[in-house]
Amino acid sequence: MLYRGMDRAALDAAYDNGAAVGPAKRDRYVADRTTRSEAFRKSHRGRIDVPYGAGARQRLDVYPCGAPGAPTLAFIHGGYWQANDKEPLSYVGESLLPAGFNLVLVEYTLAPTARLDAIVAEVRAAVAWTLDHAREIGGDPARVFVAGNSAGGHLTAMAMQDARLAGGLAISGIYDLEPIRLNYLNDKLRLDADEAALNSPMLHLPSRAAPLVITVGLGELPELIRQSAEFATAWQKRGLPGSYMPLDGHDHFSIVDELARPDGRLLAALRALAAA
């Protein structure tokens, strides 16, 4: 057995989110996100592909809400560090801009082109750019937040090392990379034991940090729920501010809608962080 009583086949299945929801349902989610994001980009003027580094994918899309001194959210897309782009997540701006948040969408180099060490460094640089330029985009530098889903949830946790952040929202993330090193995802990631440990938020809790809301859908794979629950427990035992917010009625793909809807529970959690 490789990990927690699971052989390779079981471990592969334990982290295969697409198979868990089924190809047809997954494709409907993707199509809906794409349509909504295209409509959002057509109706909102933003600064597109702003460089935060020299790499081809070291780019940001910036959508100001128009309110002076507004809070800003840097949002990091998922895709298990090896797929997806920032553009199909533009639809989260449907609720964020009317709620008075500036939105910064983060893109980063994907595996296998980049090792995970480099991906984490890129995301931290993107978050630093957002903090450094918050006032320039009409934001309050003291109210910059970071959020992301799936791999973006992991990268959110890694970005929380920046003490200037006002808070974070980690959605359906992976916080211990040892099972990732041992399953199909490592074909492209090429993690060794040291790199997996170095980039596991569970093993590198900061001594101090802003509040972090850790959330996961209760319809997700058991391993995803376990990872989120255990990371939240470790975060709180460290004495760090934050909360665990499991959401019923959601799988790995649908949960992001709770940030994209005006009445969404994740949007409400973000607004509470900004108000505090």
The pLDDT value given to residue 166: 98
Asked if the bond preceding 112 is cis, omega within 30° of 0, the reply is yes
CA distance 34 to 17: 19
CA distance 145 to 133: 13
Count of domains for the chain: 1
Is the pLDDT assigned to residue 239 strictly greater than 80? yes
Residue 158 domain flag: yes
CA-wise closest residue to 178 among 13, 14, 6, 3:
3
pLDDT (mean) for 123-140 = 97
CA distance 239 to 105: 30
pLDDT (mean) for 47-73 = 97
pLDDT band, very low/low/confident/very high, at 185 (cuts 50, 70, 90): very high
Residue 238 domain flag: yes
Residue 1 domain flag: no
pLDDT (mean) for 210-226 = 98
The pLDDT value given to residue 8: 96
Residue 139 domain flag: yes
> For the purposes of burial, counting CB atoms within 10 Å of the CB of 207, is it exposed (0-12), middle (13-18) or buried (19 or more)?
exposed
Residue 3 domain flag: no
DSSP helix/strand/coil, 142: strand
Domain harbouring 66, CATH code: 3.40.50.1820
pLDDT (mean) for 58-64 = 98
Domain membership of residue 140 as a residue range? 8-275
CA-wise closest residue to 161 among 138, 128, 194:
128
pLDDT band, very low/low/confident/very high, at 67 (cuts 50, 70, 90): very high
DSSP letters, 22-72, are: -HHHHHHHHHHHHHHHHHHHHHS--EEEEESSSSTT-EEEEE--S-TTEEE
The pLDDT value given to residue 52: 98
pLDDT band, very low/low/confident/very high, at 1 (cuts 50, 70, 90): confident
Backbone angles phi, psi at 213, to 5 degrees: -95, 120
The pLDDT value given to residue 195: 98
pLDDT band, very low/low/confident/very high, at 198 (cuts 50, 70, 90): very high
Residue 43 domain flag: yes
CA distance 61 to 259: 18
pLDDT (mean) for 235-252 = 97
pLDDT (mean) for 69-73 = 98
CA distance 211 to 229: 16
- Name the percent of the chain lying above pLDDT 70: 100
Task: Please give the mean pLDDT across all residues of the chain.
Answer: 97
Is the pLDDT assigned to residue 57 strictly greater than 90? yes
- Rg from Cα positions in the chain: 17
